[in-house]
């Protein structure tokens, strides 16, 4: 009985180890020594593996025109974001934050904070894409110091064109965007309009 | 973990309720505010805070119990916005706008100020 227990104590951990790390229990085999085929191949280092993803910081600034009902708004924006792309494919993802500020055509101050992301596809220097975002819009009022403010959900289409290519996906680019934001406050009007900007991807 | 979900759902619910009770984004409210801003720019001495562009409706959960319209209708606001500052002063729109009540006396008849 004692011999059986002793055998179990030896075998069971051994089986577990063999399942977890089979190479540890493999019979020792002599390590084959590399046979030099030629001097040049033995001294060459293997090429580094190609990166599977590449991340870039995005900095963008530009101008925007928005309409709500019949009221026009002229704004400027500043955005910072991150783009992640796979060099082996055309597709890239991006996300970021943005602040827009300006005024309605009759002088009421407008501030809009945005957070969102999307996808774009590379065709040489041209990158069309689309995205979705959420934001917080405030429009000043003339009759009271309290602003009208609301959360909103938006979608947009965009395209960028690399003006100066710094290599490895880095570039100075021009961008254009058409956005549609559905306001949360009743009666949930639509704010829409185009944007134009210049940015760097590095 | 379950408590976190409950808190998250409650927060989303409160935020959505906040959306529904937010005001100032009806067309008549926005047009009224912009017309008031324009009048303040064009009319010397015009005080835009002497009138209200708020809308409230007792039929909604967020209402105050009475129906109150903005002091300017959409058409009145468009009319004001379509005039130049000189026209507003010469056609006495500025003078009429100075005498606007804080809220319209009748819910169905905002004050006419534009010719």
Domain ranges of chain B: 24-110
* CB nearest A189 (choices: B16, B25, B51): B25
Q: Which residues of chain B are within 8 Å of residue A187 when distances are taken between CB atoms? A: 25-26
* CB nearest A69 (choices: B23, B30, B52): B30
Cα B111 to Cα A78, A167, B47, B52: the distances in Å are: 42, 64, 16, 12
Which residues, at least 6 apart from A165, have a Cβ–Cβ distance to it below 8 Å?
A125, A171
Q: How far apart are CA A202 and CA A162, in angstroms?
A: 12
Q: Is there a contact between B30 and A68 (Cβ–Cβ < 8 Å)?
A: yes
Q: Which residues of chain B are within 8 Å of residue A184 when distances are taken between CB atoms? A: 16, 19-20, 22
Q: Is there a contact between B38 and B80 (Cβ–Cβ < 8 Å)?
A: yes
Q: How far apart are CA A176 and CA A161, in angstroms?
A: 9
Cβ-defined contact of A143 to B52 (cutoff 8 Å): yes
B55 touches chain A (CB under 8 A): no
Give pLDDT, residue B61: 57
Cβ-defined contact of A141 to B53 (cutoff 8 Å): yes
Which residues, at least 6 apart from A34, have a Cβ–Cβ distance to it below 8 Å?
A42
How confident is the model over B3-28, as a mean pLDDT? 64
* Paired sense of beta strands A170-183 and A148-167, if any: antiparallel
Confidence of residue B17 (pLDDT cuts 50, 70, 90): low
Residue of A154, A151, A156 whose CA lies nearest to A186: A151
Q: How far apart are CA A153 and CA A189, in angstroms?
A: 11
Give pLDDT, residue B106: 65
Cβ-defined contact of A142 to B81 (cutoff 8 Å): no
Cβ-defined contact of B53 to A147 (cutoff 8 Å): no
| Better-scored residue on pLDDT, B55 or A100 | A100
Give pLDDT, residue A185: 86
Q: How far apart are CA A150 and CA A185, in angstroms?
A: 6
Taking the model in full, what pTM does it have?
0.75
Cβ-defined contact of A142 to B48 (cutoff 8 Å): yes
Give pLDDT, residue A176: 97
Give pLDDT, residue A81: 97
Q: Is there a contact between A77 and A86 (Cβ–Cβ < 8 Å)?
A: no
B68 touches chain A (CB under 8 A): no
Residues in chain A with pLDDT values less than 50: 1-29, 31, 35-40
Give pLDDT, residue B40: 94
Instruction: Report chain B's mean pLDDT, rounded to a whole number.
Output: 79
* CB nearest A185 (choices: B22, B36, B60): B22
- Note whether ipTM > 0.95 here: no
DSSP B7-21: HHHHHHHHHHHHHHH
Helix, strand, or coil (residue A135): strand
Q: Minimal Cα distance from A145: which residue of B?
A: B49
| pLDDT score of B93 more than 80 | yes
Q: Is there a contact between A72 and A105 (Cβ–Cβ < 8 Å)?
A: yes
- Distance from the A77 Cα atom to the nearest Cα atom in chain B, whole angstroms: 22
Which conformational region is residue A144 in: left (phi greater than 0), alpha (psi within -120 to 50 degrees), or beta? Answer: beta
Give pLDDT, residue A21: 45
Cβ-defined contact of A104 to B34 (cutoff 8 Å): yes
Confidence of residue B57 (pLDDT cuts 50, 70, 90): confident
Residue spans of alpha helices (H) in B1-115: 2-21, 27-42, 74-81, 85-90, 93-98
**Contacts of A41-48 spanning 24+ positions with Cβ under 8 A:** none
Residue spans of alpha helices (H) in chain A: 2-20, 22-25, 39-43
CB atoms within 10 A of CB B35: 29
A172 DSSP β-pair partners: A164, A200
* Most confident residue range from A170-179, B11-20, B61-70, B85-94: A170-179
Structural domains of chain A sorted by starting position, each given as residue range(s) with its CATH number in brackets: 54-201 (2.40.160.20)
* Paired sense of beta strands A109-121 and A91-104, if any: antiparallel
The helix-helix angle for B27-42 and B74-81 (nearest 10°) equals: 30
Distance from CA of residue A164 to its chain's centroid?
21
Phi, psi of B91 (to 5 degrees): -90, 10
């Amino acid at each position: 009985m004692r011999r059986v227990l002793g055998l179990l104590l030896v075998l069971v951990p051994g089986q577990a180890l063999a399942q977890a790390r089979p190479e540890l229990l493999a019979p020792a085999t002599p390590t084959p020594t590399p046979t030099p085929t030629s001097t040049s191949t033995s001294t060459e280092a293997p090429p580094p593996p190609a990166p599977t993803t590449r991340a870039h910081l995005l900095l963008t600034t530009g101008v925007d025109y928005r309409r709500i009902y019949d009221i026009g708004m002229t704004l400027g924006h500043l955005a910072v974001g991150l783009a992640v792309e796979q060099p082996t494919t055309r597709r890239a993802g991006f996300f970021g934050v943005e602040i827009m500020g300006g005024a309605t055509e009759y002088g009421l101050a407008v501030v809009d904070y945005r957070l969102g992301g999307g996808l774009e596809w590379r065709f040489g220097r041209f990158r069309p894409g689309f995205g979705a975002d959420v934001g917080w819009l405030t429009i000043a009022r003339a009759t009271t110091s309290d602003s009208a403010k609301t959360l909103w959900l938006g979608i947009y289409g965009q395209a960028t064109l690399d003006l100066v290519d710094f290599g490895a996906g880095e570039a100075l680019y021009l961008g254009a965007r058409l956005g549609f934001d559905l306001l949360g406050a009743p009666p949930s009007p639509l704010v829409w309009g185009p944007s134009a900007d210049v940015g760097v991807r590095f | 973990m379950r408590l976190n979900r409950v808190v998250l759902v409650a927060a989303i619910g409160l935020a959505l309720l906040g959306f529904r009770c937010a005001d100032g984004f009806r067309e008549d409210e926005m047009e009224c505010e912009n017309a008031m801003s324009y009048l303040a720019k064009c009319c010397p001495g015009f005080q835009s805070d002497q009138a209200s562009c708020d809308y409230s409706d007792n039929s909604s959960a967020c209402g105050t119990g009475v129906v109150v319209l903005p002091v300017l209708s959409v058409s009145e606001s468009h009319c004001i916005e379509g005039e130049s500052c000189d026209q507003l002063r010469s056609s006495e729109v500025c003078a009429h706008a100075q005498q606007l009540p804080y809220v319209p006396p009748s819910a169905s008849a905002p004050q006419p100020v534009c010719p």
